[in-house]
């Protein structure tokens, strides 16, 4: 006997379980060969039309009215239902009216020198850098902003670890409308001293000039927190309205996005429930079936692959493993096809033990037994070793003569 694939056994079991629960499925054209097989051996398939799933799809693939396996193209309604809703993400400021007065174009100059951070300045370097800082402050007060920048640069190169030098040079860059250069200096100052109020103040102003309202408000609030300054507070009041609008709009967009995601998730769950209900009501067959059935067989229990091959439901003692082996045996299948075409041909196969044994195993499974084999018509499914019963006759058995109560001995 050929080896039986446990997966094939499991699929066959699911198929049989489904057919047992839905016998009308045998009336679909795709299972005509199975119906003919059962009826040729005395079985009877209930009459009636199997109710196909919505859309006319056969659970074995194709359309119920044809034996082809082509699937009908999805309708536009199905496409619309299955299509994921496409929602364009709105930009953060798409619905916000902002006051953009005072916003300037960003500067794109080459990065300014930041000094050697690994250098340890001597006392002489510290004194020299302080002198340069004084000169830079004087130039700044005279509105000689580029000269002030150059002097601060010299001080930074001599004493690169002074955060205030970077913050003050950033202030001079602001006067020249170079907010990006200012931000670079303030970032460096905060690397050196994270509590530099001047660095937060001037970086906040630079962000305001670039239209980065939320960043500007955050920096200016921190500057006022570290060291309150009237100018910083004034700048903060200037950027707060735009910053609040953007923040409120962003929160609104986040709520909308969360709601869209919630609705999309609910739609997916609803669709999954509908698909499950369709399969349960229509008897969909997930999985495959050996021999060319593109559909599968739901409704079967959770028997694991490789479990014992149980009996064939509704078919007496026929063993499922034997049937599957027969389906894989070309000789047996050819013989069955021959018998289905002409039942009289069964006589040719009585001497074939392989075919005879398989058909014998179905004795008693169909009303009237298996045509053409010994025991046909015996609904009780007698075995080969059972003693044949005497054929009944139409005549009543004669009663034995009644014995007299006494016997005459003839002595009188």
Q: In a 10 Å sphere around its CB, with 0-12 CB exposed, 13-18 middle and 19+ buried, how is residue 48 labelled? A: exposed
Looking at the chain, the whole-number percentage of residues with pLDDT higher than 90 is: 36
Could you give the CA distance from residue 350 to residue 373 in angstroms, rounded to a whole number?
A: 8
pLDDT of 79 higher than 60? no
pLDDT digits (tens, 9 = 90+) for 222-254: 999 999 989 999 999 999 999 999 989 989 999
User: Can you give the pLDDT at residue 112?
Assistant: 92
The residue with greater pLDDT, 328 or 171, is 171
pLDDT of 407 higher than 60? no
Cβ distance 362 to 316 under 8 Å? Answer: yes
Provide mean pLDDT across the span 140-147. Answer: 95
Q: To 10 degrees, what angle do helices 179-192 and 197-210 make?
A: 150
User: Can you give the pLDDT at residue 176?
Assistant: 95
pLDDT of 83 higher than 50? no
User: Can you give the pLDDT at residue 230?
Assistant: 94
pTM of the predicted model, to two decimals? 0.46
Average pLDDT, the chain: 74
Of the given ranges (55-59, 268-272, 326-330), which has the lowest mean pLDDT? 55-59
User: Can you give the pLDDT at residue 124?
Assistant: 92
Could you give the CA distance from residue 130 to residue 196 in angstroms, rounded to a whole number?
A: 18
pLDDT of 189 higher than 90? yes
Tokens of residue 181, six digits: 């250069």
Could you give the CA distance from residue 331 to residue 80 in angstroms, rounded to a whole number?
A: 51
Cβ distance 359 to 376 under 8 Å? Answer: no
Looking at the chain, the whole-number percentage of residues with pLDDT higher than 70 is: 64
Q: To 10 degrees, what angle do helices 353-360 and 320-327 make?
A: 140
* Domain residue extents for the chain: 6-72+289-300+309-360
User: Can you give the pLDDT at residue 222?
Assistant: 96
Q: In a 10 Å sphere around its CB, with 0-12 CB exposed, 13-18 middle and 19+ buried, how is residue 297 labelled? A: buried
Q: Which of the four pLDDT bands, split at 50, 70 and 90, describes residue 140?
A: very high
User: Can you give the pLDDT at residue 12?
Assistant: 79
Cβ distance 186 to 168 under 8 Å? Answer: no
């Amino acid at each position: 006997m050929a080896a039986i694939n446990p997966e094939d056994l499991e699929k066959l079991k699911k198929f049989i379980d489904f057919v047992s629960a839905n016998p009308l499925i045998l009336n679909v054209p795709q299972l005509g060969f199975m119906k003919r097989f059962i009826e040729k051996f005395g079985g009877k398939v209930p009459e009636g039309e199997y109710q196909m799933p919505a859309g006319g799809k056969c659970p074995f693939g194709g359309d119920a009215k044809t034996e082809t396996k082509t699937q009908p193209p999805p309708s536009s309604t199905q496409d619309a239902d299955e299509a994921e809703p496409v929602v364009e993400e709105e930009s953060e400021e798409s619905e916000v009216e902002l006051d953009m007065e005072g916003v300037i174009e960003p500067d794109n100059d080459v990065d300014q020198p930041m000094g050697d951070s690994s250098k340890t300045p001597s006392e002489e370097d510290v004194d020299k850098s302080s002198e340069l800082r004084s000169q830079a402050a004087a130039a700044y007060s005279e509105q000689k902003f580029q000269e002030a920048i150059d002097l601060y640069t010299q001080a930074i190169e001599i004493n690169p670890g002074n955060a205030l030098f970077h913050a003050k040079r950033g202030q001079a860059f602001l006067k020249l409308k170079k907010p990006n250069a200012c931000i670079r200096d303030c970032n460096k100052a905060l690397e050196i001293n994270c509590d530099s109020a001047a660095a937060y103040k001037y970086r906040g102003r630079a962000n305001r000039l670039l239209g980065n309202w939320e960043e500007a408000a955050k920096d200016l609030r921190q500057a006022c927190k570290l060291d309150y300054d009237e100018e910083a507070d004034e700048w903060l009041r200037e950027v707060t309205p735009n910053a609040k609008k953007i923040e409120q709009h962003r929160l609104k967009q986040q709520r909308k996005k969360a709601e869209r995601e919630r609705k999309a998730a609910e739609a997916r769950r609803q669709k999954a429930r509908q698909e499950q209900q369709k399969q349960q009501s229509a008897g969909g067959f997930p999985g495959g079936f050996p021999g060319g059935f593109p559909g599968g067989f739901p409704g079967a229990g959770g028997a694991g692959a490789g479990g014992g091959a149980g009996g064939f439901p509704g078919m007496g003692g026929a063993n499922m493993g034997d049937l599957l082996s027969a389906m894989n045996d070309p000789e047996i299948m050819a013989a069955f096809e021959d018998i289905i075409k002409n039942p009289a041909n069964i006589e040719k196969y009585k001497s074939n033990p392989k075919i005879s044994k398989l058909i014998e195993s179905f004795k008693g499974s169909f009303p009237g037994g298996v045509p053409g084999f010994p025991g046909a018509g015996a609904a009780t499914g007698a075995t080969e070793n059972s003693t044949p019963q005497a054929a009944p006759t139409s005549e009543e058995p004669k009663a034995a003569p009644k014995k007299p109560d006494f016997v005459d001995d003839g002595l009188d």
